[in-house]
């Protein structure tokens, strides 16, 4: 990728928040499917219809405030960190392009930081989305994301806000690497070897392919993370849970919720990158205009 003007750190987080508001029902459905124990194999559409019928249509947006909180922390850090690390590495090496390995190092570092920063919001997000399928006496009934954070800290201790932080960091590394690096790689390849020019169609195609890669790579870790975070008590390490899932439910259990995960992640990835590219375009146009005015 070519060297470009530095953009504000928060652009990626802002774009992700916009995307989260659009795809939230799919995210909720994915969490419900991932948390289904045993060999039950209910489809995405059936699960969404069941939620709407038994809990109400608005329940498909349960936990939206937590989802936005998560993106405002997790995605701001991972996208902002990735762009800053890329710029730093290009400046240090006096390069216009980075290798895939260098982009993987930048994305893995940014992803790890984002996963740690976003973990409290993620715990609340997963719990609020899963609340509706619990028996009435087990429901937590958080009013909103901040209420969830305060109650978890008060009732279970601060450590509970970082439950599942290990799998979450692993997932964030995988997500950032597979999503950002594959997007940059697909975009570069399409610019080089296809008639597509830098614009909406290129951004749409690259982000769709990146969403496919990211969903498949992240699915196993995402399922394990969801089960750890929804548990009221610590039920073993990630490796023990993974071994138990494989033993009791088979390899397919690691890909539970793949379809809603892709249907959620594909539009989220598309919206995020298209909006992010638009933010960059507006930012560059604003800067150019300021330079022109300064010369007058």
Q: Is residue 140 classed exposed, middle or buried when 0-12, 13-18 and 19+ CB atoms within 10 A define those classes?
A: middle
Residues 64, 68, 69, CA angle at the centre, nearest 5°? 115
Q: What tokens were used for 236?
A: 């073993």
Is pLDDT above 70 for 17? yes
pLDDT digits (tens, 9 = 90+) for 103-123: 999 999 999 999 999 999 989
Band the pLDDT of 3: cuts 50, 70, 90: very low
- What pLDDT, on the 0 to 100 scale, is given for residue 37? 66
Q: Which of 12-16, 41-45, 52-56, 266-270 has the highest mean pLDDT?
A: 12-16
Q: Are 164 and 119 in contact (CB under 8 A)?
A: yes
| pTM of this prediction exceeds 0.95 | no
Measure the CA–CA gap between 252 and 192, rounded to whole angstroms.
Answer: 38
Q: What tokens were used for 99?
A: 């290798």
Closest by CA position to 79, among listed 165, 178, 175, 13: 13
pLDDT digits (tens, 9 = 90+) for 158-216: 999 998 898 889 889 999 999 999 999 999 999 999 999 999 999 999 999 999 999 88
Cα 57 → chain centroid: 24
Q: What tokens were used for 269?
A: 């990835």
Question: CB under 8 Å, gap of 24 or more: what pairs does 59-63 form?
Answer: 59/132, 60/24, 60/25, 60/28, 60/29, 61/24, 61/25, 61/28, 62/28, 62/128, 62/129, 62/131, 62/132, 63/24, 63/28, 63/124, 63/125, 63/126, 63/127, 63/128, 63/129, 63/131, 63/145
The CA dihedral of 258, 10, 229, 133, to the nearest 10 degrees, is -60
């Amino acid at each position: 990728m070519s060297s470009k003007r530095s953009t504000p750190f928060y652009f990626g987080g802002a774009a992700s928040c916009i995307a989260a508001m659009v795809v939230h029902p799919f995210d909720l459905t994915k969490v419900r499917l991932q948390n289904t124990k045993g060999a039950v194999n209910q489809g995405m559409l059936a699960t969404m219809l069941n939620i709407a019928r038994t809990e109400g249509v608005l329940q498909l947006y349960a936990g939206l405030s937590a989802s936005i909180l998560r993106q405002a922390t997790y995605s701001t850090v991972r996208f902002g960190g990735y762009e800053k690390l890329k710029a730093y590495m290009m400046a240090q090496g006096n390069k216009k392009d980075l290798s895939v390995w260098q982009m993987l190092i930048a994305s893995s570092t940014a992803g790890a930081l984002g996963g740690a920063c976003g973990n409290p919001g993620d715990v609340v997000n997963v719990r609020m989305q899963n609340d509706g399928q619990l028996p009435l006496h087990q429901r937590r009934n958080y009013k909103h994301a901040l209420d969830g954070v305060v109650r978890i800290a008060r009732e279970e201790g601060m450590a509970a806000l970082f439950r599942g932080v290990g799998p979450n960091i692993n997932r964030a590394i995988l997500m950032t690497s597979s999503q950002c690096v594959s997007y940059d790689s697909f975009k570069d390849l399409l610019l080089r070897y296809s008639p597509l020019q830098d614009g909406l169609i290129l951004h749409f195609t690259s982000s769709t392919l990146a969403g496919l890669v990211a969903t498949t790579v992240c699915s196993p870790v995402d399922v394990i993370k969801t089960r750890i975070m929804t548990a009221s008590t610590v039920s073993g390490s990630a490796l023990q849970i993974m071994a138990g899932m494989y033993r009791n439910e088979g390899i397919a259990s690691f890909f539970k919720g793949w379809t809603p995960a892709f249907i959620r992640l594909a539009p989220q990835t598309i919206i995020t990158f298209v909006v992010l590219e638009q933010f960059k375009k507006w930012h560059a146009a604003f800067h150019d205009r300021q330079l022109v005015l300064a010369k007058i």
